[in-house]
Amino acid sequence: MNAHPGGEAHTRHMLELAALPAGARILDLGAGAGEAVRLMQELGYEAQGLDLHPRSPFVQEGDLLNTVFPDQSFDALLSQCSFFVSGDTPGALRESRRLLKPGGLLLLSDVEFEPWDSLLEAAGFSVLLSEDLTECWKEYYIEAIWRGDPLCCEWPRRRCRYRLLICRKEE
């Protein structure tokens, strides 16, 4: 089951916004059960996924903060709801920058407790597109509590927003 607001429609929307060429090599960081990996493969991308606790054969085991892939291995990275729960967002962005080819894209959707824009800029990314999905996040979160789903981590007791961001690695 998709573990992010908006489910598959949200993943498709992100991919449409990014407009990656067919065959682009993409890694899903924190891929969970691998639905997004499977979808990207169906759409003709060379996609793979990584998670600390993989929940399908589409996903390999690994830490998104310290992956085994060589520098500049990917045209794009996708990460939905995983950077914040990794506990080290700046570290996740550093590793993303290392993994991307020059000009590569980071397709990110996640909670926002501090502005993504400054974190991304400090990590060497420019924001090409941004959408506020806070309302969708609230619905998703309340439904998850209602179903009794395990929530990934303790959230800070502060208001947050939820952002979708398409970012480019800058030189």
Ligand X SMILES: C[S@@+](CC[C@H](N)C(=O)[O-])C[C@H]1O[C@@H](n2cnc3c(N)ncnc32)[C@H](O)[C@@H]1O
* Residue owning tokens 């759409």: 43
Would you say 55 or 101 has its CB closer to ligand X? 55
Least distance in angstroms from the C-beta of 171 to ligand X: 27
CB-based contacts of 115, cutoff 8 Å, min separation 6: none
Least distance in angstroms from the C-beta of 156 to ligand X: 16
Which of 17, 43, 65, 119 is close enough to bind ligand X by CB under 6 A? Answer: 65
Contact flag: residue 63 with ligand X (CB under 6 A): yes
Neighbours of 99 (CB within 10 A): 22
Cα separation values, 168 from 34, 75, 76, 141, 148, Å: 24, 10, 9, 29, 37
Choose the binding region for ligand X from 14-22, 60-68, 140-148, 155-163 (rule: CB under 6 A).
60-68
Which of 18, 20, 47, 64 is close enough to bind ligand X by CB under 6 A? Answer: 64
The token pair that represents 106 in the structure block: 């980071």
